[in-house]
Amino acid sequence: MRGLAGLLAITAAALLSACASAPPNPQAGDAAWRDARQMVLVVTDDWEATTGTLRTFARDDAGQWREQGDAAPVSIGRGGSGWGLGLHPPQAGGPVKQEGDGRSPAGVFAVGEAFGYAGHADTALPYAQMQADSWCMDVVDSPLYNRIVDAREVGADAVEGSSEPMRLDLHRDGNQGYRNGFVIEHNAAARKGAGSCIFAHLWQAPGVPTAGCTAMADATMQRLYGWLRPEAKPVFVLLPRAEYDRLQVAWQLPSPSP
């Protein structure tokens, strides 16, 4: 998305071209994220796991990933995880993320804009304040699918049916889940039914799963807010451990071990 009217807007042509041309097992130098210098890595036990461990890495001058900061627990979708649409090439085997399945998308994704309830946040990421009329569109047939929009701009009828108000505190009895978060750019081309509104955000409580996002403690989010830099082209990676082990070398990923 780029701005309040669409934090997930990347041209469909560019994304589809990248997916079509990427080899099944890209060499490190061919990876679409080869220029990334920051990585948020989440590894889970398996496809059905609803919790995982988050680690952060930065490339050194020699191009090697070096861990920065401490590992932290996270919660993911109530359905576990499934292959999403991101920077990675299509993969065979394993579940595939679909709208409403409760799975968090697995793969490699660009880190999008930050959002929250306050007018300002202490982060270098582009930041958008959410309003009472801010909605993320999870209605598959909507032309606004997988976009954050303002009902005052697009009209109340255009957001009809969405189940994703961005001010949870105002619409769901003070819920603080979206008080701070950032976009995980899954399904940026808004392919119908492939899943929408995927964020990193605050959890309700440790271990409580999400509808498909990645949730964490406030302290973990604040560390990411202070650490992530747009010029470093950060990526968000989520993989079950077996898939991580299979793809680590080909995708030039850091070691998941402490």
CA distance 180 to 223: 12
CA distance 86 to 160: 27
Which pLDDT belongs to residue 256? Answer: 63
Which pLDDT belongs to residue 255? Answer: 81
Radius of gyration of the chain from its Cα atoms, rounded to whole angstroms: 17
CA dihedral angle for residue 192, residue 194, residue 200, residue 204, rounded to 10 degrees: 100
Segments in the chain below pLDDT 50 = 1-28
Structure tokens at 156: 């109340």
Cα angle 80, 83, 84 (rounded to 5 degrees) comes to: 105
Closest C-alpha among 37, 53, 84 to residue 206: 53
Question: 56-114, pLDDT tens digit by residue?
Answer: 999 999 999 999 999 999 999 999 999 999 999 999 999 999 999 999 999 999 999 99
Question: Residues 200, 214: contact at Cβ < 8 Å?
Answer: yes
- Non-local CB neighbours of 244 within 8 Å, separated by 6+ positions: 43, 253, 256
Q: How many CB atoms are closer than 10 A to CB 233?
A: 15
Which pLDDT belongs to residue 257? Answer: 66
Q: Is residue 20 within a helix (H) or strand (E), and if so which, with residue range?
A: helix 12-21
Strand positions, DSSP E, the chain: 38-44, 51-59, 65-67, 72-75, 81-83, 104-116, 127-129, 134-136, 148-150, 164-165, 180-184, 199-202, 214-216, 235-240
